[in-house]
Amino acid sequence: MTPASSPRTSPKITVIIVAYNSGDFLQPCVDALAKQSFTDFEAVIVDNASTDGAVETLDLPDARFRIDRPGANLGFAGGNNRAARESRAPWIALLNPDTRVAPNWLDALLDGARRWPDCPAFGSTQLRLDDPDILDGAGDVWYAGGVAWRALEGRPLKDNPPAGETFAPCGAAAFYDRERFLELGGFDESFFCYCEDVDYGFRVRLTGQVCIQLTDAIVYHAGSGTTGRHSEFTLFHGHRNRIWVFFKNTPTALLPVLTPVHLAINLYLYLRADTERRGYLKRAYGAAWQGLSAVMRQRKGLRAIRTGSVLSLMRAMIWSPVLVTRRGAKLTGKGERVSSRD
């Protein structure tokens, strides 16, 4: 067992928990993290100006845990970026407050880093907090037409594939090389919350690197437990940011072909929504359009870091519309043979 780090030394990992009105989820999340078999870590709880008292009443387990109060709501993206910049650890582990981690979670993440030494981003296997026999997600998937989802969400745990390449780790329990994260600009803070993890996965891939999904790094996740899965906040940010991810990152050669598909998807999602959700989608689509010129300007900056091939990026995407409806996965081998799921 690695000795626990002290405030005067640089730990191996900084675990970042961005909290905003996390309610009854936060204390069990912190308590589970304190029981890790790997102990050389620090944990930073970034309080995004919560008003529910959960941070004020939080019982910190030991000196490895501290609360950071920026004094404003920086969003998931800004809160993680702030803690990553202040960290001196070589690795950062992102953890949603509506999660509880298995005792060997950090050990499993570090084992993945040893097995894939050139990989800067790893994902955890997420199980439902209220039903751990059901997958909450096995990495993030990107459909070329502009839809993202957590792979295999809702499938039995037995369907979880072996460790291997995925499009991007889910930010609810991601593990990043801190230096590389900062080199690539961290999360896009204009996103505020949702899809910033997929957007970062695009940048990793544009540089020719890959992301690995780990089977043994287990996290139990409530899934939008603090924001509400179908709340106005979740739907607005999720759909606005999904559109921005598409136009910011889709290779130029593919934009003329995929843009009509993307527009058709958005029309379909709008038409199938009920009256209340149509109102949320109208706001999301309007905000996406208003911010589109800034997003398109960001494409120029991405050209400067692009060293990977368009073909390799295309191979990492989902192209089958059937997999969209099934919340399927596409994990391709990287260092070992990996099965695919549809």
Q: What is residue 301's predicted lDDT score, i.e. its pLDDT?
A: 86
Fold entry, domain 13-221: Spore Coat Polysaccharide Biosynthesis Protein SpsA; Chain A (3.90.550)
* Among 53, 42, 44, 43, CA closest to 20: 53
% pLDDT > 90, the chain: 85
pLDDT tens for each residue of 281-305: 999 999 999 999 999 999 988 988 8
| Residue 64 pLDDT greater than 70, yes or no | yes
Distance in angstroms (rounded) separating the CA atoms of residues 205 and 331? 14
Integer Cα distance of 1 and 39 in angstroms = 7
Predicted local confidence at residue 229, as pLDDT: 58
Amino acid at 152: L
Instruction: Tell me the mean pLDDT in the region 112-135.
Output: 97
pLDDT of residue 323 exceeding 70, the answer is yes
In the structure, what pLDDT confidence band is assigned to residue 320 with cuts at 50, 70 and 90? Answer: confident
CA-CA distance, 226 to 215, in Å (whole number)? Answer: 25
Q: Which two tokens stand for residue 48?
A: 């995004």
Question: Is residue 342 a contact partner of residue 328, using CB atoms and an 8 Å limit?
Answer: yes
Domain spans in the chain, listed from the N-terminal domain onward: 13-221, 232-305
Q: Decide if 40 contacts 112 (C-beta within 8 A).
A: no
Q: What is the pLDDT of residues 3-61, one digit of tens each?
A: 444 445 799 999 999 999 999 999 999 999 999 999 999 999 999 999 999 999 999 99
Q: Where are the beta strands (DSSP E) in the chain?
A: 13-19, 41-47, 65-68, 91-94, 99-101, 121-128, 131-137, 140-143, 147-150, 164-166, 174-177, 211-221
Mean pLDDT of 95-103: 97
The answer, yes or no, to whether residue 337 has pLDDT greater than 50, is no
Is the model's pLDDT at 183 over the cut of 60? yes
pLDDT above 60 (res 341): no
Give 250's pLDDT tier (boundaries 50, 70, 90). very high
Please name the residue that has the structure tokens 């009443």.
57
When pLDDT is averaged across residues 80-90 and rounded to a whole number, the result is 98
Strand partners, 90: none
Residue bearing the bigger pLDDT, 195 or 308: 195
- Average pLDDT of the chain, as a whole number: 91
pLDDT classification of 333: cutoffs 50, 70, 90: very low
Residue scoring higher pLDDT (301 or 256)? 256
**Residue 1 pLDDT:** 39
Q: What is the pLDDT of residue 330?
A: 61
Residue 339 pLDDT: 34
Is a pLDDT exceeding 50 seen at residue 340? no
Quick check: 71 pLDDT over 60? Answer: yes
